[in-house]
């Protein structure tokens, strides 16, 4: 359960200590890629909670979403349209949606856990 | 289940790395001191000069304070101080040795443009800068005294100095200087002479023993300054 958090920490520390920087003009691509990655991650967590998780779908979704988002931003820059805003909007909405669903699922689980012992007491 | 956790871990590691890189990229880059020895020395010298100037100023103010404390007649000392300040601000007429620069249009035979109405504002600015570089103490363009807040701008093709129209040709620029000869030679070989020539204007300077500059007659607008309340 704690493994993903440890992974996040390791990634953060790795990034901070390697002093790796992206040129300023590419930082918008990276930010959109981060957003896409977060979206996929929360989608994965949701699928996991709903017992619909599929490794292949998750992994391919992760990488294609990142690439697609960065590609869309790149295309937008070259077309002179702020296409990355479209990606930000789409990912933002999905992120909130996924988080809301995760919250509901967790709440449901929590309450069903609380109620079950109460019910058993009543039964007894 | 275990595979799933490993996948999640990999993904979160990648996300963490990306966030860290993004954070470092958007973070303000540290400003490094990249001056070499020569530049450091120059900066040090200029700071020392500044310090000397400030010390001189402090000394002067201390002397004034001392005078104020010593004399019974405070009023006189204060009047003197005020008149000195007024003089420094350019609110009084001043006279002394200096140079007079005369600007006139020149029309050579190939001249084909329209009439020349006034000296462009950028040339006036350039001339004033060069005069100040070469040791001018007080400057007046036409009838307008140049003080530290004098605006020189262009509106509808007319150059305005102190918000009033610049005098017509021949334009006289009066300058007071401690070394009129030196200033005269500096101006005659200056870059502004060349730039005036590009605009079909000739610049003639003559050193003079006595020149009188008008006072600044507009209201002085003071921004960014407040009176200091005396600590009691």
* B54-103 pLDDT tens trace: 999 999 889 888 888 887 777 887 888 888 888 888 888 888 888 888 88
Token pair in block for residue B67: 């005078």
For residue A85, what pLDDT is reported?
A: 84
Query: Cβ–Cβ of B21/A9 closer than 8 Å?
Result: no
Q: What is the pLDDT of residues B25-41, one digit of tens each?
A: 877 666 777 888 888 99
Flag whether residue B219 sits within 8 Å of chain A, measured between CB atoms: no
Q: How confident is the model at residue B1 (pLDDT cuts 50, 70, 90)?
A: low
Structural domain ending residue among the three candidates B89, B108, B124? B89
Flag whether residue A65 sits within 8 Å of chain B, measured between CB atoms: no
B62 lies in some domain: yes
Domain containing residue B166: CATH number: 3.30.70.1880
Q: Closest CB to A34: pick one of B3, B8, B22.
A: B22
Least confident of A6-15, A18-27, B198-207: A18-27
- Chain-centroid distance of CA B179 in Å reads 21
Say if residues B198 and B118 touch (Cβ distance below 8 Å).
Answer: no
Query: Cβ–Cβ of A15/B20 closer than 8 Å?
Result: yes
Give yes or no: residues B134 and B66 share one domain. no
State how far the alpha carbon of B63 is from the alpha carbons of A93, B54, B89, B232, in Å: 72, 14, 21, 22
Q: How confident is the model at residue A122 (pLDDT cuts 50, 70, 90)?
A: very low
- Residue A19 C-alpha, separation from nearest chain B C-alpha, in angstroms: 7
**Which residue of chain B is at minimal alpha-carbon distance from A25?**
B25
Residue B46 confidence (pLDDT) above 80: yes
B24 lies in some domain: no
**Cβ within 8 Å of residue B181, ≥6 positions away:** B207
Look-up of token digits 């871990």: B9
Token pair in block for residue A26: 């590419």
Which residues from chain A sit within 8 angstroms of residue B1, using beta carbons?
none
For residue B13, the tally of other CB atoms under 10 A from its CB is 20
B25 lies in some domain: no
- Residue B12 C-alpha, separation from nearest chain A C-alpha, in angstroms: 5
Q: How confident is the model at residue A117 (pLDDT cuts 50, 70, 90)?
A: low
Which residues from chain B sit within 8 angstroms of residue A14, using beta carbons?
13, 16-17, 20
Q: Does residue A95 or residue B168 have the better pLDDT?
A: A95
- Residue B16 C-alpha, separation from nearest chain A C-alpha, in angstroms: 4
Flag whether residue A25 sits within 8 Å of chain B, measured between CB atoms: no
Give yes or no: residues B183 and B81 share one domain. no
Query: Cβ–Cβ of A58/B7 closer than 8 Å?
Result: yes
Which residues from chain A sit within 8 angstroms of residue B10, using beta carbons?
7
**DSSP reduced 3-state for B81:** helix
Question: In what helix (H) or strand (E) does residue B209 lie, and over which residues does it extend?
Answer: strand B201-213
Residue A124 confidence (pLDDT) above 50: no
Q: Rounded CA gap, B101 and B175, in Å?
A: 8
Residue B50 confidence (pLDDT) above 70: yes
Q: How would you list the strands of the sheet with B94-105, edge to edge?
A: B144-146, B136-141, B171-177, B94-105, B201-213
Structural domain ending residue among the three candidates B72, B89, B106? B89
Question: Once rounded to an integer, what is the mean pLDDT over residues A78-107?
Answer: 89
B79 lies in some domain: yes
What is the DSSP code string of B7-33? HHHHHHHHHHHHHHHHHHHHSPPPPP-
Give yes or no: residues B85 and B104 share one domain. no
Strand B201-213 relative to strand B94-105, pairing = antiparallel
Q: Closest CB to A37: pick one of B9, B18, B25.
A: B18
Give yes or no: residues B100 and B162 share one domain. yes
B220 lies in some domain: no
Least confident of A31-40, A105-114, B113-122, B145-154: B113-122
Give yes or no: residues B53 and B142 share one domain. no
Give yes or no: residues B60 and B160 share one domain. no
Give yes or no: residues B113 and B208 share one domain. yes
B113 lies in some domain: yes
Q: What is the DSSP letter of B221?
A: P
Residue A42 confidence (pLDDT) above 80: yes
In percent, how much of chain B has pLDDT > 70?
97
Q: Rounded CA gap, B190 and B135, in Å?
A: 13
Give yes or no: residues B98 and B85 share one domain. no
Q: Rounded CA gap, B79 and A58, in Å?
A: 86
Flag whether residue B4 sits within 8 Å of chain A, measured between CB atoms: yes
Give yes or no: residues B124 and B140 share one domain. yes
Domain total of chain B: 2
Say if residues B199 and B123 touch (Cβ distance below 8 Å).
Answer: yes
Which residues from chain A sit within 8 angstroms of residue B24, using beta carbons?
15-16, 19-21
Residue (of B39, B142, B132, B137) closest to B88 by Cα position: B137
Q: What rounded mean pLDDT belongs to chain B?
A: 84
Query: Cβ–Cβ of A4/B9 closer than 8 Å?
Result: yes
B29 lies in some domain: no
Give yes or no: residues B121 and B168 share one domain. yes
Least confident of A37-41, B89-93, B169-173, B219-223: B219-223
Give yes or no: residues B157 and B73 share one domain. no
Give yes or no: residues B200 and B99 share one domain. yes
Residue (of B227, B177, B226) closest to B205 by Cα position: B177
Q: Rounded CA gap, B57 and B50, in Å?
A: 11
For residue B231, what pLDDT is reported?
A: 67
Which residues from chain B sit within 8 angstroms of residue A7, using beta carbons?
8-13, 16
Q: What is the pLDDT of residues B181-216, one digit of tens each?
A: 888 888 888 888 888 888 888 888 888 888 888 888
Residue (of B105, B167, B116) closest to B141 by Cα position: B167
Say if residues B28 and A23 touch (Cβ distance below 8 Å).
Answer: no
Q: Rounded CA gap, A122 and A17, in Å?
A: 57
Question: Once rounded to an integer, what is the mean pLDDT over residues A28-36?
Answer: 86
Q: How confident is the model at residue A118 (pLDDT cuts 50, 70, 90)?
A: low
Q: How confident is the model at residue B52 (pLDDT cuts 50, 70, 90)?
A: very high
For residue B83, the tally of other CB atoms under 10 A from its CB is 12
Flag whether residue A67 sits within 8 Å of chain B, measured between CB atoms: no
B141 lies in some domain: yes
Domain extent for B63? 43-89
Say if residues B218 and B160 touch (Cβ distance below 8 Å).
Answer: no
């Amino acid at each position: 359960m704690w493994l993903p958090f440890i992974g996040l920490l390791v990634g953060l520390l790795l990034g901070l200590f390697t002093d790796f920087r992206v040129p300023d003009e590419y930082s918008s691509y990276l930010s959109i890629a981060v957003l896409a990655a977060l979206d996929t991650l929360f989608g994965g967590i949701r699928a996991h909670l709903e017992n619909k998780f599929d490794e292949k779908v998750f992994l391919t979704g992760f990488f294609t979403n990142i690439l697609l988002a960065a590609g869309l931003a790149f295309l937008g820059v070259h077309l002179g349209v702020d296409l990355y805003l479209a990606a930000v909007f789409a990912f933002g909405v999905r992120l909130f949606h996924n988080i809301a669903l995760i919250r509901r699922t967790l709440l449901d689980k929590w309450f069903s856990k609380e109620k079950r012992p109460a019910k058993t007491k009543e039964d007894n | 289940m275990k595979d799933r956790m490993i996948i999640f871990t990999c993904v979160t590691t990648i996300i963490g790395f990306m966030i860290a890189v993004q954070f470092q990229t958007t973070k303000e880059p540290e400003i490094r001191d990249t001056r070499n020895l020569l530049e450091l020395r120059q900066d040090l010298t200029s700071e020392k000069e500044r310090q000397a100037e400030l010390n001189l100023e402090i000394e002067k103010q201390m002397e004034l304070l001392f005078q104020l404390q010593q004399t019974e007649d405070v009023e006189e000392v204060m009047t003197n101080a005020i008149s000195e300040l007024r003089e420094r601000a350019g609110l009084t007429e001043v006279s002394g040795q200096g140079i007079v620069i005369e600007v006139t249009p020149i029309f050579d035979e190939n001249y084909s443009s329209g009439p020349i109405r006034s000296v462009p504002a950028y040339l006036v600015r350039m001339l004033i800068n060069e005069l100040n570089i070469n040791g001018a103490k007080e400057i007046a363009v036409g009838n307008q005294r140049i003080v530290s807040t004098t605006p020189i701008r262009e509106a509808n093709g007319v150059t305005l100095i102190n918000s009033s129209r610049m005098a017509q040709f021949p334009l006289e620029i009066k300058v007071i200087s401690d070394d009129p000869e030196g200033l005269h030679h500096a101006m005659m070989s200056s870059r502004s002479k060349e730039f005036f020539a590009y605009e079909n204007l000739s610049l003639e300077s003559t050193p003079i023993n006595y020149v009188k500059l008008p006072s600044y007659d507009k209201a002085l607008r003071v921004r960014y300054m407040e009176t200091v309340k005396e600590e009691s």
